[in-house]
Structure formats: structure tokens, C-alpha cells
């Protein structure tokens, strides 16, 4: 049953285009597939199955469905079995606010994982060089037969030469010279014609991936209660000491629901029933796996062969280095012309 869903989500992110690395595909593709499957399961459970079942021994059987939906919509609260039920005038514990919104939270997470890859593809189309065509040519190139590589190499050289010619012609203009003097004050210039548009776009997308990985934990903190961004540390601590990682306070299976029924004569009858939330078993496992996956992705990015500060260093000093090279080559060219004239 899940095969069509997995096949649909696996087609997201244009996997055949190899213009990003594994760390990016881990976020924009594989994480989207996992969250998409979870989204499908949770949505079908919440809106098709029975996400909540309440124990209503003193309520007529034909009202059972009404009680279940009232407790599902109005939220319930967690009360351990070793604590007595509060009286009518006593305050109840804080209600559990999140479980109705889990499908929407997962959908927002999918979009946040998709946005950096979408921006990267848009930047590739507007970078002044057809990166998609170049990567397709290189990926389809025959690595063994040199004769078969001749035509792809010629086509690849034409693409690169066209982009470099466009940049070289622009560098000789008066406007560029004036702008170059001004840009030296800030060490770099970002744009298609300055030659570093794609590099700075890549740095921007890398920062978006990192911000997304960190920001989603705080997003969960907004939806699921205070200090939820520390929940991952709690899990690791329990796992390290060999304790049970189940959190009944954050993901309770059995909760209490208080509601009132109005009858004739404006008589209001309060009820308090015990409810079972089987969906929280799945929610806990899903959130725990998500936190572990995010911690793993951060460690993978820390161990990346090319850290992001390398891209910053190369990007910020690209214009300065190219300016030195152009000046040296220009001086050598003039010296050669003077020698030839003699």
C-alpha cells in the first residue's frame, strides 16, 4: 500500500541532476521521503481511523463518537496514575496542544526541507553558466573510451568558454572598472558577471540547510511545549545510562478529558473521562527518529570534506586573487609587446 507513496516522494528533488552533494540530498530528498511517508500514515490515522478512544461507562453508547471527537478537538491533559483527580474547582494540568496538528507540522517540515534545494536549482538557472548541462555532460561521459569522450569534451569546453568570454568582456568595461574599485572596499562583489554568483549561491544554500536543521528543533518547541529543543539531549542521556527512552509526560498514551454537556433548562453536566491516544506511540517514535536523524546530519556536516568556511574563504577572496592575476598577466603582456616592438 505504501509503495505508490514511496515512489511519489522518491521522485522529488530531481535526483538525476548531480549538481549538489550527498549532504544536500540527505536533507532535500531522503528526509523529505521519510517525512512524506510519516505524513501519509499520520494523516490517514487522524482523519480516517480512530485517533482517540475514550472510556465512557456512564454515557450512552450512541454518544460515544461525539465524546471521542470532543476530546480530540478540545485537547486532553496528562495525569499520572499516582496522582488523584482534581476536584471540580481545582485547576487541571496543562493540556496537550500538539497531537491534532501533527500532520500540518510534518507538511511544514517537508516544505522547509524542499526550499533550499528549490533555491539552489533557481540559482543554477540564473548563474550565467548552464550548470545543469555541464553536470549532465560530465555524468554521461565515457570514462574508458577516449574517442567517445571527444564530442562531450568539446561541448563542455564551449559551455565554459562562453561563460568565461562573457565575464572577460564585461571586465574590460568602464562601469566594471569603477565598480571594481568600490568593491575592493568590501573584498568581494556578488553577481553573474563577477564570476562568483554560483559560489555565493552555494554558500547561501549551505547556510539555509544548516539553519533549517537547527531551526526545526525550535519550531517543534513552539508546537509541542517549552524546552522541547532539549528533548534530544534527554533521549541521549537516557540511552547512555540504559534507561527507558519513553516519555509519558511529552507523549502520554492515556490522558484525561474534561467537557460539559448542556441539557434542557440550561443545565450543564460536567464529565471527566479517561482517553487512550494510540497515535502518540507513533508520534514519539517519529519525533525520536527525527531528532536522532538531525543530530546525525549535523555530525555528518561537521565531518564534511570541504567545510563551509572553505567556501567562504575562497568566495570572499576570489575577486581579490583574480584581480592580482589579471594585473600580473596584463603587465607581462605589455612587457612582451614592448620587447617585440624593439
Residues 165, 157: contact at Cβ < 8 Å?
no
Quick: pLDDT tens for 148-174: 777 777 777 777 777 666 555 544 554
Contacts of 164 (CB under 8 A, 6+ apart): none
User: Is the residue at 310 inside a domain?
Assistant: no
Residue 1's pLDDT is 45
Residues 232, 291: contact at Cβ < 8 Å?
yes
Number of domain units in the chain = 1
The residues facing 276 across adjacent strands are 53, 254
User: Is the residue at 248 inside a domain?
Assistant: no
Q: What is the CA radius of gyration of the chain?
A: 30
What's 245-261 look like in SS3?
A: CCCCCCCCCEEEEEEEE
User: Is the residue at 204 inside a domain?
Assistant: yes
| Predicted TM-score of the model (pTM) | 0.66
User: Is the residue at 324 inside a domain?
Assistant: no
User: Is the residue at 186 inside a domain?
Assistant: no
128 backbone φψ class: left, alpha, beta (φ>0; ψ -120 to 50): left
| Host domain of residue 49 | 3-75+94-128+192-229+284-305
Residue 187's pLDDT is 44
Residue 294's pLDDT is 67
User: Per residue of the chain (342 residues), what is the pLDDT tens digit?
Assistant: 444 544 554 555 444 556 667 777 777 788 888 888 888 888 887 777 778 888 887 777 677 888 888 888 887 888 888 888 887 777 777 788 777 888 888 888 888 888 888 888 887 776 666 666 677 777 666 666 666 777 777 777 777 777 666 555 544 554 445 544 444 444 444 555 555 677 777 888 888 888 887 788 777 777 776 566 667 667 767 777 776 656 667 788 888 888 888 877 778 888 888 888 888 877 777 777 776 666 666 666 655 555 555 555 555 444 444 444 455 555 544 444 444 444
User: Is the residue at 238 inside a domain?
Assistant: no
Average model confidence (pLDDT) across the chain? 70
The CA-atom distances, in angstroms, between 179 and each of 26, 185, 201, 320 are 39, 10, 21, 13
User: Is the residue at 11 inside a domain?
Assistant: yes
User: Is the residue at 69 inside a domain?
Assistant: yes
CA 321 – CA 298 distance, rounded (Å):
32
Amino acid at each position: 500500500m505504501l509503495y505508490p507513496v514511496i515512489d511519489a516522494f522518491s521522485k522529488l528533488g530531481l535526483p538525476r541532476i548531480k549538481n549538489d552533494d550527498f549532504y544536500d540530498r540527505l536533507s532535500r530528498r531522503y528526509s523529505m521521503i521519510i517525512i512524506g511517508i510519516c505524513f501519509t500514515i499520520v494523516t490517514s490515522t487522524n482523519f480516517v481511523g480512530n485517533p482517540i478512544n475514550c472510556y465512557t461507562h456512564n454515557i450512552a453508547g450512541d454518544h460515544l463518537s461525539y465524546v471521542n471527537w470532543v476530546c480530540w478537538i478540545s485537547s486532553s491533559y496528562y495525569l499520572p496514575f499516582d496522582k488523584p483527580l482534581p476536584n471540580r474547582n481545582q485547576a487541571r494540568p496543562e493540556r496537550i496542544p500538539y497531537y491534532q496538528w501533527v500532520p500540518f507540522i510534518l507538511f511544514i517540515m517537508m516544505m522547509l526541507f524542499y526550499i533550499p534545494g528549490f533555491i539552489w536549482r533557481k540559482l543554477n538557472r540564473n548563474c550565467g553558466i548552464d550548470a545543469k548541462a555541464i553536470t549532465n555532460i560530465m555524468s554521461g561521459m565515457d570514462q574508458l573510451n577516449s574517442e567517445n569522450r571527444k564530442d562531450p569534451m568539446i561541448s563542455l569546453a564551449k559551455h565554459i568558454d562562453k561563460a568565461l568570454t562573457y565575464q572577460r568582456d564585461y571586465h574590460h568595461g568602464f562601469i566594471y572598472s569603477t565598480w571594481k574599485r568600490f568593491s575592493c572596499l568590501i573584498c568581494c562583489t556578488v553577481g553573474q558577471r563577477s564570476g562568483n554568483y554560483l559560489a555565493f549561491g552555494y554558500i547561501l544554500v549551505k547556510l539555509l540547510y544548516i539553519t533549517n536543521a537547527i531551526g526545526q528543533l525550535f519550531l517543534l518547541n513552539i508546537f509541542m511545549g517549552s524546552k522541547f529543543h532539549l528533548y534530544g539531549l534527554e533521549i541521549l542521556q537516557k540511552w547512555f545510562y540504559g534507561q527507558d527512552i519513553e516519555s509519558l509526560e511529552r507523549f502520554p498514551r492515556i490522558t484525561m478529558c474534561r467537557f460539559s454537556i448542556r441539557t434542557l433548562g440550561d443545565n450543564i453536566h460536567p464529565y471527566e473521562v479517561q482517553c487512550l491516544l494510540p497515535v502518540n506511540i507513533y508520534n514519539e517514535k517519529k519525533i525520536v527518529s527525527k531528532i536522532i536523524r538531525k543530530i546525525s546530519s549535523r555530525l555528518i556536516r561537521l565531518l564534511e570534506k570541504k567545510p563551509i568556511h572553505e567556501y567562504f574563504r575562497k568566495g570572499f577572496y576570489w575577486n581579490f586573487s583574480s584581480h592580482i592575476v589579471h594585473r600580473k598577466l596584463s603587465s607581462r603582456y605589455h612587457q612582451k609587446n614592448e620587447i617585440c616592438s624593439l
